[in-house]
Each structure stands twice: as structure tokens, then as C-alpha cells.
Amino acid sequence: GAVVSQHPSWVICKSGTSVKIECRSLDFQATTMFWYRQFPKQSLMLMATSNEGSKATYEQGVEKDKFLINHASLTLSTLTVTSAHPEDSSFYICSADGLSGDSPLHFGNGTRLTVT
Amino acid sequence: LAKTTQPISMDSYEGQEVNITCSHNNIATNDYITWYQQFPSQGPRFIIQGYKTKVTNEVASLFIPADRKSSTLSLPRVSLSDTAVYYCLVVTGRRALTFGSGTRLQVQP
């Protein structure tokens, strides 16, 4: 089945630094990838839609200059949290779409970001 | 986007059948229903999807009545490892999924 890999699975960084999270589709080409954020005991919230070779589309309230998304290839999208602050601590999850028809979207296993 | 409503939480015991019902009153003609399972600190895992009537796979069944305004996920003989959050979603085309609050299922021994 379709596999989506995220790296790292967890990261701890100091306030003010930047962190990059990778999302890879391992056995298919993903023209579109989606980035979500999930706070404890809450549901997943869509942050942005990433299209290969074009600019990402951000959801309302998500700062595009803070959450930089790059989708340079059909198998890789990256999310960079710039100048991270403790309130950016969260669980970040990606999903990838490249399959045809009504095939379900598959998700990565998430990245736990802790900003100290 | 069709909004979904499902119970916040459910409790069950090992070996029982669990049915989680989701309502989606404004589902559109071309929409279909999909269910995901999420364990703590993991990404959602696809369980099952369907358009109408009944769909069954190796882990669950999905019942969708003729009016498609609701759907029921059925988990046969649950075990402790089925303790998780279950999300019902209505899917329109090739798009990002919009997650509701989900149902937190707790399976007791």
C-alpha cells in the first residue's frame, strides 16, 4: 500500500531556531501534499496544501512566512518552522495525494515538535 | 464541505462489537464517506470508505443507509488495541480532508 514517511518523528529545538520537517511519498508520486497540526486532545487542523512546483496554499490564520513549505519534487515536501516559539510546539502531520480515483489519502506518522 | 457529527467518546469491553454512528446531513451526491483511526502520537490510519449500502474489509464494516445522511462504522470483537480516536469524514473529490472532533473509543478488559 501507499506509504508516507515523515522525518524526524520528534524534535526538540530552542526558541528562535528553525526546524525542517520532511514528508516523503515512498512508493508513489504525490502531486499534492497536505500539512496538518494537532494540539493535545484536539483534532487535526489543516495548515496548508502543497503542490509540486508551485506555491503552497495556506489556510486562514496560518502565517506563510513562519511555516515555509517547499514541494520541489513529486516525492518530497518540507515544512520549515522558522523562528520557533514554545507555542509552535505541536504534532505536525503530512498526507500525500497522488493516487487516482477514490483511493484514500495516506498520512505520515507525524512529527512531535517541542520548542523550549 | 459536509459537516460530520459523531459521539465524543464511547466505552466498550473486549470482545464486544462496537458501532460508531456519524451523521452528515448535507452530504452531496458525489461525496463518499471515509473513516480513519488514530493512536496517540501517530498519524491517522485509513480504515474503510464507502459510498452507499455496506462495505466490509478485514478490520471493519461500514453501513450507509439509502439517504446517506449517516453512516455507521462497525468494529467486530474489539480488543484493547482498538482503543483510539475514530474520525468520520466526508470526502469531496481529490482534496484535503477536514477532520471533526472524532470519537474516542476506550476498550476495557
Whole-angstrom CA distances from B51 to A30, B21, B56, B99, B101 are: 24, 15, 12, 18, 22
pLDDT above 70 covers a percentage of chain A that reads 95
Mean pLDDT calculated for residue range A85-113: 89
Mean pLDDT calculated for residue range A88-112: 88
pLDDT tens, position by position, A43-69: 999 999 998 888 899 999 999 999 999
What is the 3-class SS of chain B, one letter each residue? CCCCECCCEEEEECCCCEEEEEECCCCCCCCEEEEEEECCCCCCEEEEEECCEEEECCCCEEEECCCCCEEEEEECCCCHHHCEEEEEEEECCCCCCCCCCCEEEEEEC
Mean pLDDT calculated for residue range B3-14: 95
Contact of A43 with chain B, judged by CB distance below 8 Å, is answered with: yes
- What pairs with residue A38 in β-bridges? A91
Residue B64 pLDDT: 97
Determine the residue among A44, A50, A100 to mutate to test chain B binding: the one whose Cβ has the most chain B Cβ atoms within 10 Å: A44
Residue A1 pLDDT: 61
Who contacts B104 (Cβ-Cβ below 8 Å, separation ≥6)? Answer: B8, B9, B10, B84, B85
- Residues written for chain B: 109
The conformation of residue A103, written as its DSSP 8-state character, comes to P
Closest CA to B61 of B78, B40, B44: B78
- In chain B, which among 69-98 make CB contacts under 8 A with chain A? 87, 91, 94, 96-98
Contact of A106 with chain B, judged by CB distance below 8 Å, is answered with: yes
Q: Using CA of residue A55, residue B32, residue B55, residue B60, what is the dihedral sign?
A: positive
